[in-house]
Structure 1
Amino acid sequence: MKAYFLFILLLSFTISTSQKINQEIKTEKGLQFLVGPINLDGLQSEPYKNWFTPSYLNYTVDKLLTKMMKKSLGEYKVKLFLGTWCGDSKRETPRILKILHEAKFPMKNLEIIALDRRKGFYKKSPGGEEKGLNIIKVPTLIFLKNGKEVNRIVESPIASLEEDMLAILSGETYIPNYSSK
């Protein structure tokens, strides 16, 4: 009985201290957006699926370039920072996720963080996942290898998502939009 009580206590503590997935904010003005860690379920729920699903389904992935990046992509962890309120994120996020899916990227290596849009919280997440990462525009797609940032795509690709991703994964010189390099 004592062990059972300790288990329940530990489980309660873990649940109460873990960050909520697909946390939604609804403002007094009727604005609705996700914040913090999210997953595909969040993007495929109302009202987000109204922009996510058609864009995902209608995007034609460059299969040749995706095939070329498939092997090396598995060596990376990827962080995607976006705003479900942002036009650029609404355009690029479904494309990015479809490319990763087509490349058979291990989704356990993908972290998707939705950022706030409210004054005082602008481009921040409840858990502070963006801290120290210089997120100035969304979406920002960060490629990490062995825990260190290799490069990123900021707001929109230079050539195409597939070409930019392949350049990063191949170690080519790649300077993203809004780079401080």
Structure 2
Amino acid sequence: MKKLITFTLLLFAMTASSQEINKTTKDEAGKVTGLINICNRTGFKAIPEMQNRYEVEYPAYQPDQTTIEALQPLIKDKKITIVIGTWCGDSQLQVPHFYKMLDALKIQEKDVTLICVDRSKKAENGLIDGMNITNVPTFIFNANGKELGRITESPRESLEKDMLSIFAKK
């Protein structure tokens, strides 16, 4: 049994690491329409609408410094999963703001998983199965493999204040 679990984990790790990063989707004419599966910020360059919006929204967003300072000690050992649609207006607005906040917090890329979905809010290979994604963007905050909370579509107050509310829960 132990060998079977080890083999399964090894197979999963090999599959996950072999996935193409920043995989694009195309329409019937061959035009790039979006990103799918595991992505990173660099992939936004492939989608003009996403890149253009990122170039405007990222520098314009000013995270609340007091909230950033309050978040700093709470963010240690946390993981974040972001599920977005590069075609989605809310994703195009909120994701650059979120990355500006992550950069202010000095969160490392290894602690953030960015997953892009198609218009039916699906990714390939069951990548988001079981995540209960109803709207995008969805920001999911985890500690020790357990979900602490999420921000779906738009924050209630601001991204950093909503994140502080999630991490401050005891």
Structure 1 length-normalised TM: 0.79
Say which of 132, 138, 146 aligns to 1:134: 132
2:93 corresponds to 1:83: no
**1:37 equivalent in structure 2:** 38
Match status 1:49 vs 2:47: no
Q: Map 1:143-154; keep pairs closer than 5 Å.
A: 143-154=141-152
User: For 1:91-118, what per-residue CA distance to the aligned partner results, in whole angstroms no more than 9, with x for missing partners?
Assistant: 100011110110111221100000011x
1:51 partner letter: R
Relative to its length, the structure with more helix (as a share) is 2
Runs of 4+ in 1 over 4 A off after TM superposition: none
Pairwise CA distance, 1:74: 2.2
Amino acid at match of 1:52: Y
The aligned residue for residue 18 of structure 2 is 18
For structure 2, the residue ranges without an aligned partner over 5 or more in a row are 1-13
Q: Deviations over 1:55-96 (max 9, x none)?
A: 111111111111110121122100000000001101100011
Q: Which has the larger radius of gyration?
A: 1
Letter of the 2:129 counterpart: K
Counterpart residue type for residue 114 of structure 1? C
Q: CA RMSD in A?
A: 1.8
> What residue ranges of structure 1 are gaps of 5+ in the alignment?
1-13, 173-181
Q: Distance in 2 between matches of 1:116 and 1:18?
A: 20
SS at match of 2:126: coil
SS in 1 for 2:36: strand
Provide closer, same or farther for how the CA distance between residues 98 and 44 of structure 1 changes in structure 2, counting only shifts above 3 A: farther
Q: d(CA) in 1 for partners of 2:95 and 2:27?
A: 23
2:123 alignment partner in structure 1: 125
TM superposition shift of 1:45? 4.2
Normalising by structure 2, report the TM-score: 0.84
Q: Distance in 1 between matches of 2:47 and 2:90?
A: 19
Aligned to 1:60: 62
The equivalent position to 1:103 in structure 2, one of 97, 102, 105, is 105
Q: 1:114 to 1:143 in 2, by over 3 A?
A: same
Aligned to 1:164: 162
Q: How many residues align?
A: 154
Counterpart secondary structure, 1:143 = strand
Partner of 1:113: 115
2: CA distance, partners of 1:110 / 1:42: 15
* Sequence identity (%): 37
Q: Is the 8 A contact 1:84 1:114 kept in 2?
A: yes
